[in-house]
């Protein structure tokens, strides 16, 4: 038997039987892993109360022959309780978990993504104005994938992006006014300037960037289009979460 000890964040839990659960965990050293927590639903289980989405755990699991492993130990390092106290904060946190689950392949370690997820969850509960953190998180994820297009140059004619610009969901690039006619997604000049600042800022400084209601709606829609292109599908719980974020 091969044992693995690592640190991870619980992404989701699903019932497996009357007594057991399948727990999907994004780990620092092994990427996304699916584990079977035997007896986790029993009243005297050592797992009781700690296998919850958003929780940071130290775990030990036995490597399985296929993609399902056996969870042997789980020790709570941080419940991220501050995320669970307000609906908008927990909605943002769960959306981040869903994005990681949707975008990360199983058993493909990416410590940078783990650190990004961990930092974003800390920022949501630690900052008094976390409203821009989802935007910064998604932009950081797109940059890590190599799917964040130029915000300064038209992807078709290479001219400088000025005024209202469009995003080509099929091509994955921003287009100037002349090249972007007929495209669904667009940004006003103010939204484009704000997006540039958000793409360059940290979680801690993101609250200093003020967005109007209209700018936030434009940016949210365009980022959603960029992510749909990156993951080649709809975003998890997109409509519900975006309504909360607005």
Tokens at 152, concatenated? 């300064």
Q: Tell me how far apart the alpha carbons of residues 32 and 105 are, in angstroms, rounded to a whole number.
A: 7
List, in sequence order, the alpha helices (H) in 5-110: 87-103
CA distance 144 to 147: 8
Give the tokens for residue 143. 């940059």
What span, in angstroms and rounded, lies between the C-alpha atoms of 191 and 195? 6
Q: What is the pLDDT of residue 215?
A: 96
User: Which residue stretches of the chain are H helix?
Assistant: 87-103, 111-126, 133-145, 189-200, 213-231, 238-245
**What is the C-alpha to C-alpha distance for residues 80 and 172, in angstroms, rounded to an integer?**
35
Residue 243 pLDDT: 47
Give the pLDDT of residue 112: 97
Average pLDDT, integer, range 159-184: 91
**DSSP H or E stretch at residue 169:** none
Going by DSSP bridges, is the β-strand pair 173-175/68-78 parallel, antiparallel, or unpaired? unpaired
- Residue given tokens 């892993």 in the structure block: 33
What is the spatial distance between Cα 74 and Cα 81, in angstroms, rounded to a whole number? Answer: 18
pLDDT (tens digit per residue) in 135-167: 999 999 999 999 999 999 999 999 999 999 999
Hunting for tokens 């390092």 — which residue is that?
77
Residue 120 and residue 70: Cα distance in Å, rounded?
Answer: 28
Which of the listed CATH numbers 2.30.31.10, 3.60.150.10, 2.40.50.140, 1.10.1740.10 matches domain 3-81? Answer: 2.40.50.140
**What does the radius of gyration of the chain's CA atoms come to, in whole angstroms?**
20
Q: Is the pLDDT of residue 190 over 80?
A: yes
Spatial contact of 166 and 149, defined as CB atoms under 8 Å apart: no
Sign of CA dihedral 163, 168, 174, 176: negative
Residues 6+ apart with CB under 8 A from 203: 119, 120, 123, 127, 133, 136, 137
Of the pLDDT bands very low, low, confident and very high (cuts 50, 70, 90), residue 170 is: confident
Give the separation between CA 246 and CA 93, rounded to whole angstroms. Answer: 15
Domain spans in the chain, listed from the N-terminal domain onward: 3-81, 127-245
Q: Work out the mean pLDDT of the chain and round it to a whole number.
A: 91
* Residue 46 confidence (pLDDT): 93
């Amino acid at each position: 038997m091969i044992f693995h000890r690592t640190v991870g964040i619980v992404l989701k839990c699903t019932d497996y039987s009357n007594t057991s659960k399948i727990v999907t965990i994004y780990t620092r050293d092994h990427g996304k892993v699916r584990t079977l927590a035997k007896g986790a639903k029993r009243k005297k289980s050592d797992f009781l109360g700690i296998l919850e989405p958003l929780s940071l755990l130290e775990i030990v699991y036995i490597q399985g022959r296929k993609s399902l492993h056996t969870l042997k130990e789980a020790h709570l390092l941080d419940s991220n309780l501050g995320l669970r106290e307000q609906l908008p904060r927990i909605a943002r946190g769960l959306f981040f978990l869903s994005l990681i689950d949707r975008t990360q392949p199983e058993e493909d370690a990416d410590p940078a993504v783990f650190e990004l997820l961990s930092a974003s969850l800390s920022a949501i509960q630690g900052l008094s104005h976390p409203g821009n953190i989802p935007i910064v998180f998604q932009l950081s994820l797109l940059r890590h994938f190599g799917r964040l297009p130029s915000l300064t140059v038209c992807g078709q004619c290479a001219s400088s992006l000025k005024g209202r610009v469009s995003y080509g969901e099929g091509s994955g690039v921003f287009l100037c006014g002349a090249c972007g006619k007929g495209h669904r997604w667009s940004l006003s000049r103010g939204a484009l300037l704000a997006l540039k600042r958000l793409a360059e800022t940290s979680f801690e400084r993101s609250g200093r960037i003020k967005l109007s209601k209209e700018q936030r709606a434009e940016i949210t829609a365009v980022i959603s289009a960029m992510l749909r292109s990156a993951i080649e599908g709809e975003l998890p719980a997109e409509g519900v979460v975006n309504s909360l974020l607005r």
